[in-house]
Chains A and B, each alone.
Chain A
Amino acid sequence: MTLETPAPIDRVSMGPSEASLGVRALRTVRSTPPIFLILLALLLAIYSQAPTYNFVSIFKNGAALAILAAGELFVIVSGEFDLSVGSLITVVVTMSATIANGDPSSTPMVFAVMIVLGVVVGVVNGFIVTRLHVPSFVATLGMMLILVGAVNYITGGTPLGNLPANFRMFGRDAINNFPVLGTLPNSIVVLFVTGLLLYWLLQRSNFGKRIYAVGGNSRAADLAGIDVAGTKTLAFVVSALSAVVAGILLGGYAGVSVNVGNGYEFQAISAAVIGGAALTGGRGTVAAAIAGGLTMQALFALLNVLGYPPELRDTVEGVIVIGAVAYGSYQLRNAK
């Protein structure tokens, strides 16, 4: 329960060597969401155990979850849940394989179909939540059942077809001869571009400001003339589209199966929450949510390096999720 302690330790070790600089540094560390310190501590721990560890792989394999978490964050900040993203990933991977069936020329068309599908799922989720007033937990749970059932019905339980190479390259291949790193996996480029776009959308655009307003106090936002239903619906669309991108990456390196997306909805919510997002809405940042997703992957790598059974990752993850939120709510109470 005390896993949030890395933060205080780091603060102490900074030490006020030069008063003004030290104080400033201390302030920077204090204002940094603890997730970055946790991620840094994990990476350092891996480095101390295995200096030759392929750190790029953490970012490569964590990219899908990080993107998903950043998309889910939009819905969480707006004060809702999206439990349908995991099943949407499964739909994207299996349906793409069925439609493309190994034909490289179909890839642009498949991408277009998947993006349309993402928009439709997001709009339907948003419609059910905002117009039918069904709590988002139930609405997206229902959507999850519908998507899982549909994909299994269409594929008959075993996915047909396969993904062409130019579809899989996003999650699987890498840019060779990249300076410093040697190779740069494409998924990291996708993560970077998507991350920047989502950052701009949530924290720089007017749409983002509306999401924070709606999540902070939807009644006040409504009275201020904000289209609450429209804003929430768009947040669901962003979340669904991030699931489409995550599905394209996962299809690249995880391959085609009917359970490829299992559990990703809870992983994404956990990642966003570890990154300081409040499930009551109104709080959270894209960078911290992405760091949350990468932290999960780093944790997996660390347990691997230490030789612990990989199953224990779940346990440590659970403790970190609870600890991070307990720390966040403690801070919030102190701030009041």
Chain B
Amino acid sequence: MTDLTSLRPKTRLVLIGRKILRAGSAPIFVVLGVIYLLASIVVSVANEGTLLSIDALESVLSRSVGLGIVAMGQTCVLIVGSIDLSVSYLISVSATYSSAIMNDDPNKMALGVVVVLAIGALVGLANGLVITKLRVNPFVATLGMSFILSGVLNASFQDYSGAVPDQFQYLAYGYFGPILVPFILLGGVVAAVWILLRYTTMGHHMYAVGGSEEVARLSGIKSHRVIIAAHVICALTAVVTGLYLAARIKSGAPWIGPDGNYSLESIAAVVLGGTALSGGRGGVWGTLAGVMILFVLDTSFNSLQVDEFLQNVARGVIIIGAVAVYTYRINKRRR
């Protein structure tokens, strides 16, 4: 590596620019920028409105922040080469149980949060143990877990359960200084997962296990622990998303997770951001860009008042297209 400080400022800038462009998640931000620009032009021409009007922002905010938080956990799981299809129902479990426990009583807020976090940790632990110790394919293991949670959830709650106290709604509507609390929440989760993946041994082990579990294990990494940890982290982010949604709509309902299709959407966002389904590659910034692309699409389609169903078609095409480009680039590099 060239020592950047010894070079002339202009060369230095060029080199830094190249470095940024070559970083794994850079292309997706370029794509994000292009989509955003196109969307703003189309929207302002067709609608004489602005792309990110406050109303439009409001309507998609919930989805974006909720999806963003759980997508961070899903990123860890995909990096270790696993997958988590149970987050949809875990989000519902978190939202319904927390609001049922709090039952509009501010004194029980901490209790509600702690209980659902404990449930989440257990679910993540169970997912991880079934995958590593019983050697069940992660797709099947977490699909089975989602069936289990769905049954328990629908047998216990038919409708909105309890309510969160007004103070708890600060999480969804409050301002910390000039910044909306949900953004701080999302920022906190992003920062935590980024630090974990970038600066901790556990994070580095996650990439190693995702690259090749066999090689990682033979080099002395306790691969089972790493996979279990990733699943616990993912489950915890799902719980946080559930808490946020409960704060937003005041009360948890059993259908909010599956209706939002969070399992598949979070996987789509992560994959859109360049994290490989096969594991070992990717990171939080790509995922964040993936979430934002889905967000920009939602917002522009909404303000264009194009039939909302066409959004799904556009999403499908963009997801397939993005991954096709990623695999093309990787295959080209290999040759």
Q: Enumerate chain A interface residues (CB-CB to B < 8 A).
A: 1, 81, 83, 128, 132-135, 137-139, 141-146, 148-150, 152-153, 156-157, 266, 269-270, 273, 278-280, 309, 311-319, 321-322, 325-326, 329-330, 333
Known: A152-B312, A314-B151. A273 touches B140 (CB 8 A): yes
In the complex, chain B residues whose CB is within 8 Å of the CB of A312: 151, 155
In the complex, chain A residues whose CB is within 8 Å of the CB of B83: 137
CB-based A-B contact count at 8 angstroms? 156
Question: Contact size class for B?
Answer: 35 or more
- B288: CB under 8 A from chain A? no
Instruction: Return A109 CB to nearest CB of chain B, in Å.
Output: 26
B148 touches A319 (CB 8 A): yes
- B278: CB under 8 A from chain A? yes
Known: A135-B323, A146-B313. A318 touches B145 (CB 8 A): yes
A143 touches B148 (CB 8 A): no
B interface: dominant SS: helix
In the complex, chain A residues whose CB is within 8 Å of the CB of B264: 83, 141, 144
Instruction: Return A276 CB to nearest CB of chain B, in Å.
Output: 12
Complex A-B, nearest 3 residue pairs according to Cβ-Cβ distance, in ascending order: A315-B151, A149-B312, A318-B147
Once the chains are docked, how many angstroms separate the CA of A156 from the CA of B309?
8
User: Which of A1, A146, A318 touches B316 (beta carbons < 8 Å)?
Assistant: A146
A322 touches B324 (CB 8 A): no
B154 touches A153 (CB 8 A): no
B151 touches A150 (CB 8 A): no
Instruction: Return A328 CB to nearest CB of chain B, in Å.
Output: 9
B144 touches A318 (CB 8 A): yes
Once the chains are docked, how many angstroms separate the CA of A312 from the CA of B148?
8
- B45: CB under 8 A from chain A? no
- B317: CB under 8 A from chain A? yes
- B61: CB under 8 A from chain A? no
- B175: CB under 8 A from chain A? no
B320 touches A135 (CB 8 A): no
- B134: CB under 8 A from chain A? yes
- B48: CB under 8 A from chain A? no
- B327: CB under 8 A from chain A? yes
In the complex, chain B residues whose CB is within 8 Å of the CB of A137: 83, 267, 277
A132 touches B319 (CB 8 A): no
In the complex, chain A residues whose CB is within 8 Å of the CB of B8: none
B309 touches A141 (CB 8 A): no
Selected A-B contacts with CB under 8 Å, 11 pairs: A135-B277, A135-B323, A138-B268, A142-B317, A149-B311, A269-B143, A270-B147, A309-B155, A311-B154, A317-B144, A319-B144
In the complex, chain A residues whose CB is within 8 Å of the CB of B55: none
Supply 4 further A-B pairs (C-beta < 8 A) apart from A143-B320, A152-B312, A314-B151: A141-B264, A153-B310, A311-B150, A329-B136
Known: A133-B331, A135-B277, A146-B317. A333 touches B135 (CB 8 A): yes
In the complex, chain A residues whose CB is within 8 Å of the CB of B147: 270, 314-315, 317-318, 321
Within B236-264, the residues touching A (CB, 8 Å) are 264
- B152: CB under 8 A from chain A? yes
B267 touches A132 (CB 8 A): no
Instruction: Return A90 CB to nearest CB of chain B, in Å.
Output: 12
Instruction: Return B311 CB to nearest CB of chain A, in Å.
Output: 7
B324 touches A153 (CB 8 A): no
B316 touches A149 (CB 8 A): yes
In the complex, chain A residues whose CB is within 8 Å of the CB of B146: 318
A128 touches B324 (CB 8 A): yes
Contact flags B59-88 to A (C-beta < 8 A → 1, else 0) = 000000000000000000000000101000
Chain A residue at smallest Cβ distance from B314: A149
In the complex, chain A residues whose CB is within 8 Å of the CB of B324: 128, 132-134
Once the chains are docked, how many angstroms separate the CA of A322 from the CA of B134?
9
A134 touches B309 (CB 8 A): no
A142 touches B277 (CB 8 A): no
Known: A311-B154, A313-B151. A329 touches B134 (CB 8 A): yes
Q: Enumerate chain B interface residues (CB-CB to A < 8 A).
A: 83, 85, 130, 134-137, 139-141, 143-155, 264, 267-268, 271, 277-278, 307, 309-317, 319-320, 323-324, 327-328, 331
Known: A134-B323, A139-B320. A322 touches B277 (CB 8 A): no
B309 touches A157 (CB 8 A): yes
User: Which of A280, A316, A321 touches B151 (beta carbons < 8 Å)?
Assistant: A316
Most buried by B among A150, A318, A319: A318
Instruction: Return A146 CB to nearest CB of chain B, in Å.
Output: 4
A322 touches B130 (CB 8 A): yes
In the complex, chain A residues whose CB is within 8 Å of the CB of B145: 318, 322
B315 touches A135 (CB 8 A): no
In the complex, chain A residues whose CB is within 8 Å of the CB of B328: 132-133
A141 touches B310 (CB 8 A): no
A326 touches B151 (CB 8 A): no
Instruction: Return B108 CB to nearest CB of chain A, in Å.
Output: 27
B312 touches A145 (CB 8 A): yes
B307 touches A153 (CB 8 A): yes
B271 touches A138 (CB 8 A): yes
In the complex, chain B residues whose CB is within 8 Å of the CB of A317: 144, 147, 151
User: Which of B140, B150, B309, B315 touches A322 (beta carbons < 8 Å)?
Assistant: B140
In the complex, chain B residues whose CB is within 8 Å of the CB of A156: 307
B143 touches A266 (CB 8 A): yes
A318 touches B309 (CB 8 A): no
In the complex, chain B residues whose CB is within 8 Å of the CB of A141: 264, 267-268, 316, 319
Chain B residue at smallest Cβ distance from A322: B144
In the complex, chain B residues whose CB is within 8 Å of the CB of A138: 268, 271, 277, 319-320, 323
In the complex, chain B residues whose CB is within 8 Å of the CB of A1: 130, 134
In the complex, chain A residues whose CB is within 8 Å of the CB of B137: 278-280, 325, 329
User: Which of A134, A148, A319 touches B320 (beta carbons < 8 Å)?
Assistant: A134
